[in-house]
């Protein structure tokens, strides 16, 4: 029986992807080192799909570990595809210490590809990011926009991963799909702007301190829309016989500001809380103040998100506030 391997499947997006793949009847193996994810995240779906899902603990940034682990899994079934979601999700920590993104964002890709080559695993689906584009100002960014000059180590290591995958698709993979995500929101949240705001209000309910002046403006996609898009793109490249695909996934709007998000969070959690903004239009070094995403390509395939940035953020605020028992 064929196996879908979800690497980094214990994290935020992994939860929703695993759930949809299980609903489609796939047999799923989740591999994670649990550094930022948790098996508890997956508890609700483990109960429902116990006979379709198993877990492995492993750090996938090491080729020899991957070879041993993936070979053992392959002997129990046949790994037909890898969904690679493992990465560092704390971008500012990666700016401080570039070894974090070197290991978790880049070496995970390198070491997985090396093991896939030896074991002849044919398909890789890769979670990339709008961070590869760097700061393109007001430009409407499409897949062919460039030059690509990331402004964080995270973005740099995602871009380097994409380059490696492109070369692997030429040399030995049957198929590779690269998805460039915008900011993704929903639950079970472990990081991100909404999570951070609500977490801060949990500690101090009267004041919300915002990094930057709140004018940062970005696109937000709900995780439920994101995973449907990933699966639709993967199915499409299979039926179209496409060896390498690269697609922006995002909402059909110009996004929302951090100020707007802070105000909605406060409204939901404690309307009496005071919002104090910082200075400058960047939350931290490596933060892109704004980006506008062209989703013409994915829309030309007939895909539409069910929620725009505003609706996705409102839904996620409610979900994450509930997660925090607000």
Ligand X SMILES: NC(=O)c1ccc[n+]([C@@H]2O[C@H](COP(=O)([O-])OP(=O)(O)OC[C@H]3O[C@@H](n4cnc5c(N)ncnc54)[C@H](O)[C@@H]3O)[C@@H](O)[C@H]2O)c1
Q: Which is nearer to ligand X, 44 or 204 (CB)?
A: 44
Helix (H/G/I), strand (E/B), else coil: 14: helix
Smallest gap from Cβ 144 to ligand X, in A, equals 19
DSSP string, 184-247: EE-SS--SSHHHHHHHHHHH-TTEEEESS-S--EE-EEEHHHHHHHHHHHHHHHHHHT-SEEEE
Q: Applying CB under 6 A, which residues contact ligand X?
A: 8, 10-14, 32-37, 59-61, 85-87, 89, 104, 108, 127, 129, 181, 183-184, 190, 192
Q: Which is nearer to ligand X, 16 or 52 (CB)?
A: 16
In this structure, is the dihedral angle defined by the CA atoms of residues 129, 135, 138 and 140, taken in order, positive or negative?
A: negative
Maximum distance among all Cα pairs of the chain, rounded to whole angstroms: 59
Q: Which is nearer to ligand X, 36 or 175 (CB)?
A: 36
Q: Which is nearer to ligand X, 41 or 237 (CB)?
A: 41
Q: Which is nearer to ligand X, 273 or 286 (CB)?
A: 286
CA torsion angle 81 312 278 140 (round to 10)? 70
| Residues 151, 154: Cα–Cα separation, whole Å | 8
Q: Which is nearer to ligand X, 36 or 264 (CB)?
A: 36
| Residues 260, 256: Cα–Cα separation, whole Å | 7
Region of 116 (left: φ > 0; alpha: ψ -120 to 50; beta: rest) is alpha
Which residue has 């979900």 as its token pair? 319
No. of helices (H) and no. of strands (E), the chain: 12, 15
Task: For residue 274, report the phi and psi dihedrals to the nearest 5 degrees.
Answer: -95, 135
Smallest gap from Cβ 68 to ligand X, in A, equals 14
Smallest gap from Cβ 108 to ligand X, in A, equals 5
């Amino acid at each position: 029986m064929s196996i879908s391997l979800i690497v980094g499947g214990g994290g935020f997006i992994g939860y929703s992807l695993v759930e949809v793949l299980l609903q489609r009847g796939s047999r799923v193996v989740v591999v994670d080192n649990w550094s930022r994810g948790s098996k508890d995240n997956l508890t609700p779906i483990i109960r429902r799909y116990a006979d379709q899902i198993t877990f492995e603990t492993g750090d996938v940034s090491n080729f020899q570990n991957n070879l041993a682990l993936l070979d053992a899994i392959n002997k129990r079934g046949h790994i037909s595809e890898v969904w690679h979601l493992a990465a560092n999700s704390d971008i500012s920590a990666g700016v401080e210490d570039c070894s974090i993104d070197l290991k978790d964002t880049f070496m995970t890709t390198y070491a997985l590809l090396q093991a896939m080559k030896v074991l002849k695993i044919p398909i890789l689906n890769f979670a990339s990011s709008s961070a590869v584009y760097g700061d393109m100002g007001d430009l409407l960014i499409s897949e062919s926009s460039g030059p690509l000059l990331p402004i964080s180590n995270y973005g740099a290591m995602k871009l380097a991963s994409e380059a490696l995958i492109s070369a692997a698709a030429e040399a030995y993979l049957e198929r590779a799909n690269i998805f460039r995500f915008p900011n993704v929101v929903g639950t079970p949240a472990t990081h991100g702007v909404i999570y951070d705001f609500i977490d801060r209000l949990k500690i101090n309910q009267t004041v919300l301190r915002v990094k930057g002046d709140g004018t940062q403006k970005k696109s937000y996609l709900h995780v439920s829309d994101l995973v449907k898009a990933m699966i639709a793109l993967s199915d499409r490249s299979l039926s179209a016989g496409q060896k390498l695909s690269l697609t922006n996934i995002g909402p059909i709007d110009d996004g929302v500001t951090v100020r707007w998000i802070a105000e909605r969070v406060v409204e939901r959690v404690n309307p009496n809380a005071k919002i104090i903004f910082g200075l400058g239009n960047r939350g931290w070094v490596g933060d892109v103040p704004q980006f506008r995403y062209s989703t013409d390509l994915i829309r030309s395939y007939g895909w539409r998100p069910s929620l725009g940035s505003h609706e996705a953020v409102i839904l996620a605020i409610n979900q994450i506030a509930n997660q925090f028992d607000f």
